[in-house]
Amino acid sequence: MSKEITQKQIDAWKVEHGEIFALKIGDKICYLKTPNRKTLSYAAMAGQKDNMAFNEIILKQCWLGGDEEIQTNDGLFLSASSKLPELIQIKEAELVKL
């Protein structure tokens, strides 16, 4: 179990990283930031050989704090893995011919 994360800590993370997400699985919780391009590239390359590696890298690189069991317990990790794609936010783009 992790130490309790305070609102002050969450606010500091928001200043440093922008959007912050809480991932809750039962009574466990962790806090994640959005992955950057470098993390996505690294995870995508690793994911070509091992699908689980993609999720492990995203979780580890975006981890800010929370219950470490989410990273170490297979059941909790698999539950977290189902939500990790939601961290990757793709905005709608428009290409206009001029």
The residue ranges of every structural domain in the chain are 7-85
Burial class (CB in 10 A: 0-12, 13-18, 19+), 83: middle
Positions of E strands within the chain: 20-25, 28-33, 63-66
Q: CB count, 10 Å around CB of 18? A: 9
Whether residue 2 is predicted with pLDDT greater than 90 in this model: the reply is no
Which token pair is 40?
């996505």
Stated length of the chain: 98
Whether residue 3 is predicted with pLDDT greater than 70 in this model: the reply is no
Residue bearing tokens 């800010």? 64
Q: Enter the CATH code of domain 7-85.
A: 3.30.2220.10
Q: What is the pLDDT of residues 55-98, one digit of tens each?
A: 999 999 999 999 999 999 999 999 999 999 899 888 889 999 99
Residue with more model confidence, 51 or 43: 43
Q: CB count, 10 Å around CB of 79? A: 16
pTM for this structure?
Answer: 0.85
